[in-house]
Chains A and B, each alone.
Chain A
Amino acid sequence: MKRRRSGGPTPKAAVGRSRTVKLVDIAHARSGDKGDTANIGLIAKRPEDYPLLVKQVTATRVARHFKGMVGSVERFELPNLNALNFLLHGALDGGGTISLKTDAQGKVFSTALLRMEIEVRR
């Protein structure tokens, strides 16, 4: 499966039997903070879509998605909840009271991740 560069033009419908969707259509999310790290819990709306998240929403891809906004990215799997947890290190300008960001506590990194596009079977 071909990876699409986030930040590029909206891809045309993929060739063959797959099409592109935004994560917001198949997942929901909540995010929070721990110091200078933002976390994003990404949850498949339907259990059958969870493997798609595991396969395509990798730590590398998420780091590229948030290029310039975060340092390193770690990923953990929670198959019992059909969820992935991402830690975005260095995302909050020092975090807590130090941060000058509107989103000093990383509350809406969640929906920024949901802008990502992945490929699903038709």
Chain B
Amino acid sequence: MRVAAGQGFWGDWMEAPYRQVTGGPIDYLMMDYLAEVTMSILQKQKSRDPALGYATDFITQMERILPTVVKRGIKVVANAGGVNPRACAAAVADVARKLGLGGKLTIGVVTGDDLLGRLDGLVARGHELKNLDTGRPLRDVRDRVLSANAYLGAAPVVDALQRGAQVVITGRVTDTGLTLGPLMHAFGWSGDAWDLIAAGTVAGHIIECGAQASGGNCLNDWDHIPDLSNVGYPIVEAQADGTFELIKHPRTGGRIDVPGVTEQLVYEMGDPREYITPDGIADFTTIQLAQVAKDRVRVSGVRGKPATDKLKVSIAYFYGYKAVGTLVYAWPDALKKAQAADRILRQRLADLGLKFEAIHTEFVGATATHGALALEGLDPNAIPEVQLRIGVRAADQKPVDRFTREIAPLILNGPPSVTGFAGGRPKPEEIVAYWPALIDRTAVQPAVEVITA
């Protein structure tokens, strides 16, 4: 039973899905498209055009892989539906007909995650949807909410597969549910087999970021990882008892080894004893890894606990405006010049009486990512060049607009040896922020439809 990862986020390698369905035998292709902020972008698109609101890359990719998928009987599970899974399914059906596959493709559509239209009713019935990080009640930002989606688990995916869907298109199903669903379906795991659920969740966590489990972004021994230009995306080869092995197709680049898989296991981790999903809780301190062959890592021993009675809700709301401007200063004294320019700019912003929620300065090439730690044992005057990167954030657009006009003047009226302003004035951006909350599981009803292309 093989579940292959085809996309780790919306914007991932366009070649990966095709390579996964043609490079060797697989049973399922899972594709994850939804990051926290993606839902609000999709909601915006849908409000402009009711036929949009899903990950359009998915349609391009399906057009390329559908003939192989149908011929080989591979099943596809993707949360590409975003805030409009039905429209996404209709677009895939169109592509199928165009390819002469009309009548040969069954598509399952998972909905029920979208709470936007029900929000006021839910709040009125006492669901506070408090921000998990700050504790503030949702009513503080209710009039600025752009999207609200509950994270669904694997159950509706299993339902769609049981009803014969070959392609399952979902809205906000968890990244891990896209892998766990196929495993539960294929092996007949029950929803309360907590250790198996946890094992399938760990499998999903490892492959949900695509090549990050097969040599991509891997720090350990990074410069000996072979042929990343031809990197093989990871595949879970699972057994009914919940043990599984991570592999990749033959004749692909990258590497699957214990240190690399370990890096992916700890990625975006909170409390390792309680990795909470809608399907159950996985205990990452029980995971055992073993290198059983080249590019083959066995994962076993995973223990789980029952699911909680809550679901996480991802809410996006309008927050304000921001803009970021940059200039590059060259040796000698590159860092000193950039620091002087920052002081001058801040003084001018203050003199103009502009109010910001935050002004954030970075010196790229020196301290932008590692702070003062980066300068230990280094002669700052020897730095060949430094990019001054300064950003502002405010609730109103006005001060942010004014800020964008204060960068370029520094070229002529600030410190010397400055360049790198080819891009023109920075553009103010709207900030759509993320509001994580919990809701009673009983308030959310996943739904599944099955259509034939």
Contact = CB atoms under 8 A, between A and B. Distances in A.
Contacts of A115: 370, 373, 376
Interface in B324-345: 324
Interface stretch (A12-20, A51-59, A101-109): A101-109
B219 A76 contact: no
B268 A100 contact: no
Contacts of B220: 28, 43, 45
Nearest to B431: A97
A35 B362 CA distance: 21
B102 interface: no
Interface in A53-99: 65-66, 68-69, 76-83, 85, 87, 93-98
A115 B369 CA distance: 13
Chain B interface SS verdict (over half): mixed
A96 B434 contact: yes
B434 A30 contact: no
Contact of B267 (A35, A41, A79): A41
Nearest to A95: B434
Contacts of A98: 319, 322, 393, 431, 433
Given A97-B433, A108-B369, A41 B265 contact: yes
A43 B5 CA distance: 25
Nearest to A82: B262
B133 A36 contact: yes
Interface residues of B, number: 52
B219 A28 contact: yes
Contact of A112 (B322, B370, B433): B370
A90 to B, nearest CB: 10
B37 A102 contact: no
A91 to B, nearest CB: 11
A83 B263 CA distance: 9
B265 A100 contact: no
A110 B262 contact: no
Given A76-B273, A100-B391, A29 B362 contact: no
A11 to B, nearest CB: 12
A100 B358 contact: yes
Interface in B214-270: 217, 219-220, 259, 262-270
Interface of A: 6-7, 10, 28-36, 39, 41, 43, 45, 65-66, 68-69, 76-83, 85, 87, 93-98, 100-103, 108, 110-112, 115
Report the 4 A-B pairs with minimum CB-CB distance, sorted nearest first: A41-B266, A100-B391, A32-B268, A100-B360
Given A94-B433, A97-B37, 7 more contacts: A32-B267, A35-B133, A41-B265, A78-B284, A97-B433, A115-B373, A115-B376
